[in-house]
Structure 1
């Protein structure tokens, strides 16, 4: 009996691996605030600059090994940033000093290193909160509270941008435009695009009297946030339409017919209307912060998917609760949530935070490598932005090299988007033609050259047949060019 149980468990495990989707967002938040995930070293000398870079490389290498494909890299925290900006100062976490130049551009470095590994890099930007009084004071005259004080308000010993002031959306768009113009980011990801929780005394009465126009205070506040989302979405698309725009709203939209939100939700508690944003088409993705278990997760995940308007819903999973200092979750809860996300056809999942992936908390990293993310996955397409696939590559040449290595070269594809050359996906198997619908046949993705060197794990594991497709930045994939 014991033998049969072991065989059954093995078959179930293999079935889970086989069932992996070809298209799936696999994201992790890399948190810079307080150096929670990165960096641990302050960049003050050439040696410590390199060490700080190496810390990020280590994170990205481990994510790549686990077949993650999306990095949400914290780019703005509380009124300070992790790139050389003309608007806000460098975050002190980089050097130990507010405004201190770390001797390199962390965002440019993160984008370059992600792209080397075939991963997307999204600029994660905290929007409305500006930090407590001590933090704001530490920024001195570089603080937005001094430079553009009309759009800032104090509330409960903290400062916030005022969503009810028309200048707030323009200020945020200046920051976003700076990032999107200068960097080859794949997405911009907005955090805390909401009012403080349960904030009836938030100091916006003057703006409400001026701009309310007969609406209730609650609806006016929701409309303020929606207008910021709309303004930024349209602004990004006018510059680089392929750049994904996303937010991480509160994990429960509001009460559902299946289950109550128990008085804590996006719509009523913090005045967000993310389902309205999806319906209007001013989001490409949302990462609802679904750091819950049981009935506080599954009914609300279904609700997000049912109201997605075809956009990508990527639940944020609270893997930090696997650590005994944070919560009492067991890893099977995360396993069930990923299985549920896949069964419901959602676009993928995000892991908060990357530290707990890196630390293999309760074996989460091993489980992803061995099971859920055993094979690579491509980014889901965005047909609402572009439906036209690139032309197929041509003239594939496969040249065996010693020790089982194989050199692949091909002629480039063309795409309807003249601003971006197509990228390439490499497939291989021992069967001809190579089945490109199967995720286990993906060797590499987002290749930005017209050559690739295949290095088998061991010489006797060398795969026999190869195929190449072209893919654009909207996720549209060409037909395959098969090795003849």
Structure 2
């Protein structure tokens, strides 16, 4: 791969399948000055908030009223910073290794919250995260680690509360760790019981499954008895892939039966398998961990995929194209390994991340996820500033899910604008209606200094996910006050109504 800053060219002498036209378009796009590129109006901009070991949050243990507030304030600080850079999706870690960050009747609280196993932090972290994300117009997805249960020390610390004690039939030891057994029919039911708690009790916008796979190269994984009982003549690799696919299918259909608008996503290994453009060099989802992700997409049992594309050069670009080409219209959101910007983690330079964002936009992928939020908070190599100033310069709405619902709400009506004291504006309208009566639509408010307001321009978005029929506009800079306003309604599947202005 040859590249200069702002330029991407994928090249292999033996690669006869590479299309010249796509390379030329990509070359032209990536040479455009950043200031000339308007950010897309619809784009997923996600960040993983990692709770395991307190990697991103929390730093403070919730043991007193004061420390509870401090723990909450730490999360608010993260969300405020994401909001300020126009992020719109938070992947909030909700289950780690057989323990959780919400009030569950099935699994214990994670000790990171209080310093002790199943310690009650005095509030519900997931409920708090959802409410605070929604206040800021951001989606909150419950990030749930699925198959791993932790090492022996961790499992011992959970004691009788561990699933290894309560449901030993579906758990297996492997290399000094414990895992749920994907081949046992009750494993999918157990996972769905946890998902059901989250989806029924919380207004989450998505459920995001992590480590929904076998351990890497697990030829000696302890499932020989289960294989003999349920293999039905299939070879071991195909049986394992079928097991993971069946769990994915069961969870997807279970979520949709409860709340169809809740997005179901997974973060698989970043390379599906070898492509016509480039090999995976022995590390891929299909063969290494038994994830048939393109099969899931083809069957329509995922809404989004966040492939963990923590690679550079030809480890990223041809595989990102492969995901998009096999997406079946679903949303592909590459996970970017921004942690490699830390000299202690890798030797990436920030222009690598910039090229990857340019590439995802050039090829119409649905957005990008940043792993992890700590490196945004720390502004590692200036990445946060670069995103805020060059890439995420305007808000972005969520891409729609037409395979779930493609009917937009009716347009709001009777827009009224009144000037208040101190330069504030009060904007009101009459409510819209949606074909799904379970959810009232939310609203997007646009403002411009020209009429009519161009609602295709994301720079005119003043606020999104407004739940009422009133918005108070407070100009950040008096000399940049908008004169004209418009409102649209958006349903839970991202369909936007006609404009009212």
Question: What range describes the TM-score normalised by the shorter chain of this pair?
Answer: over 0.9
CA distance in 2, matches of 1:66, 1:98: 35
SS of the aligned residue for 1:392 comes to coil
CA distance in 1, matches of 2:185, 2:265: 21
SS of the aligned residue for 1:481 comes to coil
CA distance in 2, matches of 1:159, 1:466: 56
CA distance in 2, matches of 1:479, 1:301: 33
Report what 2:196 is aligned to: 177
Do 1:123 and 1:187's aligned partners in 2 also have CA atoms closer than 8 Å? yes
Do 1:396 and 1:409's aligned partners in 2 also have CA atoms closer than 8 Å? yes
Report what 2:21 is aligned to: none
SS of the aligned residue for 2:143 comes to strand
Report what 1:15 is aligned to: 36
1:148 aligns with 2:148: no
CA distance in 2, matches of 1:181, 1:11: 46
1:429 aligns with 2:417: no
> Shift of the alpha carbon at 1:11?
8.3
Point out 4+ residue stretches in structure 1 off by more than 3 angstroms.
none
CA distance in 2, matches of 1:371, 1:473: 29
Q: CA RMSD in A?
A: 1.0
Structural mapping, 1:36-435, within 5 Å = 36-435=55-454
In structure 2, relative to structure 1, the CA distance for the partners of 1:272 and 1:10 (3 Å cut) is: closer
> Shift of the alpha carbon at 1:10?
13
Aligned residues: 472
Deviations 1:14-51 (A, max 9, x none): 113x2x10000000000000000000000000000000
> Shift of the alpha carbon at 1:403?
2.5
CA distance in 2, matches of 1:89, 1:76: 10
CA distance in 1, matches of 2:170, 2:397: 41
**Which residue among 461, 465, 471 is the counterpart of 1:442?**
461
TM-score (ref. length: structure 2): 0.93
Report what 1:472 is aligned to: 491
CA distance in 2, matches of 1:317, 1:72: 14
Do 1:30 and 1:74's aligned partners in 2 also have CA atoms closer than 8 Å? yes
CA distance in 2, matches of 1:59, 1:381: 26
TM-score (ref. length: structure 1): 0.97
CA distance in 1, matches of 2:110, 2:127: 15
SS of the aligned residue for 1:363 comes to helix
Do 1:403 and 1:459's aligned partners in 2 also have CA atoms closer than 8 Å? no
**Which residue among 42, 49, 52 is the counterpart of 1:33?**
52
In structure 2, relative to structure 1, the CA distance for the partners of 1:403 and 1:458 (3 Å cut) is: farther
Consecutive unaligned residues of structure 2, counting only runs of 5 or more, are 1-29
Consecutive unaligned residues of structure 1, counting only runs of 5 or more, are 1-8
Report what 1:3 is aligned to: none
CA distance in 2, matches of 1:279, 1:446: 31
Report what 2:500 is aligned to: 481
> Shift of the alpha carbon at 1:460?
2.2
SS of the aligned residue for 2:41 comes to coil
CA distance in 2, matches of 1:346, 1:446: 23
In structure 2, relative to structure 1, the CA distance for the partners of 1:149 and 1:115 (3 Å cut) is: same
Report what 1:463 is aligned to: 482
SS of the aligned residue for 1:379 comes to coil
Do 1:404 and 1:460's aligned partners in 2 also have CA atoms closer than 8 Å? no
Deviations 1:172-202 (A, max 9, x none): 0000000000000000000000000001000
